[in-house]
Chain A
Amino acid sequence: DQQVKQNSPSLSVQEGRISILNCDYTNSMFDYFLWYKKYPAEGPTFLISISSIKDKNEDGRFTVFLNKSAKHLSLHIVPSQPGDSAVYFCALGTGANSKLTFGKGITLSVRP
Chain B
Amino acid sequence: ETGVTQSPTHLIKTRGQQVTLRCSSQSGHNTVSWYQQALGQGPQFIFQYYREEENGRGNFPPRFSGLQFPNYSSELNVNALELDDSALYLCASSLRAAEAFFGQGTRLTVV
Contact of B78 with A by CB under 8 A: no
How far does the alpha carbon of A44 sit from the alpha carbon of B45 in the complex, in Å? 14
Assuming the A-B contacts A49-B99, A97-B31, A99-B56, are A89 and B45 also in contact, with contact meaning beta carbons closer than 8 angstroms in the complex?
A: no
Contact of A29 with B by CB under 8 A: no
A43 lies within 8 A of B42 (CB): no
Residue of A nearest to B31 (CB): A97
User: What's the A-B contact tally at a CB cutoff of 8 Å?
Assistant: 67
Q: Interface residue tally of chain A, by bracket?
A: 20 to 34
Interface residues of A in 84-106 (CB under 8 A from B): 89, 91, 93, 96-105
Count of interface residues, chain B, beta-carbon cutoff 8 Å: 29
The residues of A that contact B6 with a CB separation of less than 8 Å are 43
Per-position binary interface string of chain B over residues 17-41, scored 1 when its CB falls under 8 Å from any chain A CB and 0 otherwise: 0000000000000010101000011
Beyond the given pairs A42-B104, A43-B105, A91-B43, 12 more chain A to chain B contacts, judged by CB atoms under 8 angstroms and listed by A's residue number, are A41-B104, A43-B90, A43-B92, A43-B103, A46-B101, A49-B98, A49-B99, A89-B42, A97-B94, A99-B58, A100-B92, A102-B44
